[in-house]
Amino acid sequence: MKNISKPLALKKRFKDAFVHSPVLLDIHGLSLTREDRRRLLHPLTGGVILFARNWQNKKQLIALCEEIKALRAELLICVDHEGGRVQRFKTDGFTHLPPMLSLGEQWSQRGAFAKHDDGLAVLEATNRATAMGFVMASELRACGVDFSFAPVLDLDHGRSDVIFDRAFHRDPRVVSLLSKSFMQGMMQAGMANCGKHFPGHGFVQADSHTELPIDHRALKDIMKEDVLPYKALSSSLMSVMPAHVIYPKVDSKQTGFSSIWLQKILRDQLGFTGAIISDDLSMKGARELEGQVLTYAKAAVQALNAGCDLLLLCNQSVIKAGQSHNDVLDVFLQELGAELLLGHWALNPSSEYRRRALLGQGPALTWSDLMRDPRYQQALHQTLTPGP
């Protein structure tokens, strides 16, 4: 493999500290391979995202997380574990979390905005949301996982198959209140949150996993609806994930490459101060810029310069049938390091601070202690029993 990163020069940049480790990457299987270990020790690597292929049972997951932390304790261990369709660990005691839309339906079916409603329906739905956030986060933390990319703040416009029941509701006010309650439960378990997909993926029909969606609405329409939860939760959100969507009436670049969306609107106008995490750069919609498909490293540079603090690159460690090895992640790290040395992007200590703020906070209960914890048992009952 061509050594294009000049590792000694790169190491010199990091001689004082890990002043910015933006890359969140995946690993191959149930335990770390030699290649996984090498990549996790790279100074640009800041964490790991786990998938169902990294799961066998709780014992194996705990051992894997301990193995990762033994390499570098400050590595962030992440997973997409929203509930419903998007939940990586579903066996060996993990609770099957309902989709977030179930909370919105609970709110609506009980007439939260009815003329003679006494407000109890709202309290029941928000209380259950807190319980669900706590159950999700405490089970993950009991196995060594720091962070889940949740909750979804997209509105259910009834157009997007990729969002659909991942969204709480159509009404941004309901989404704001239910997601805040869900995040409160996460916080009680010592887990940070991630609002996604800014400024809103629910209006477009196309799936950014396979194509680049375009939303032709005016900025004022997006701001008064889809962006409202981000405005309402600006002091509660600890991280935000931009959508791989183009809003041509705002910027010709997709959100993750747009300093207008990330700096001018999200940071300056809405006052958001947490981490901005790119969505998966391997997705079809992730690397298109003005009609051209960028390399992973070039896309990463665009995202960093637009205002992203962290970069997700997923499912690139997998060795497919007929392959003897897979060096996509190695090439990516080398090329991103070369781009740094060329001055095409700069290390950002503030980004590193934001990354470390996403690590698990406080000691986590072991799984056996969690099963005996009255607060967990009450939250589990509320999660699985949506009644009054």
pLDDT at 6: 54
Q: What 8-state DSSP symbol labels residue 342?
A: T
Q: Please count the other Cβ atoms lying within 10 Å of the Cβ belonging to residue 104.
A: 23
Tell me which of 279, 280, 309, 330 is the catalytic residue.
279
Residue 370 belongs to some domain of the structure: yes
**CATH, residue 232:** 3.20.20.300
Listing DSSP states for 77-109 in one string gives EEE-EEETTEES--STT---PPPTHHHHHHHHH
Residue 330 has pLDDT above 80, yes or no: yes
Report the number of distinct structural domains present in the chain: 1
Tokens 């009450």, residue located: 378
Residue 2 lies in a domain: no
- For the question of residue 279 being annotated catalytic, the response is yes
- Yes or no: say if 43 and 121 are a contact pair by the CB < 8 Å rule: no
Pair type for strands 147-148 and 76-79? parallel
**Is the confidence at residue 1, as pLDDT, over 50?**
no
For residues 49 and 28, the answer to whether their CB atoms sit within 8 Å is no
pLDDT in tens, 245-293: 999 999 999 999 999 999 999 999 999 999 999 999 998 767 877 778 8
Residue 89 resides in a domain: yes
Catalytic, 209? Answer yes
Residue 367 in any domain: the answer is yes
Q: What is the pLDDT of residue 158?
A: 83
Mean pLDDT over 26-40 rounds to 96
Contacts of 204 (CB under 8 A, 6+ apart): 159, 160, 213, 214, 215, 245
Query: How high is the pLDDT of residue 50?
Result: 98
The one catalytic residue among 92, 209, 344, 373: 209
Instruction: Residue 265: give the domain boundaries.
Output: 7-384
Query: How far is residue 187 from each of residues 157, 162, 172, 223, measured CA to CA in Å?
Result: 28, 27, 22, 27
What does the alpha-carbon distance between residue 24 and residue 310 come to, in Å, rounded to a whole number? 7
181 within a domain of the structure (yes/no): yes
Residue 1 lies in a domain: no
In-domain check, residue 322: yes
CB of 139 within 8 A of CB of 95?
A: yes
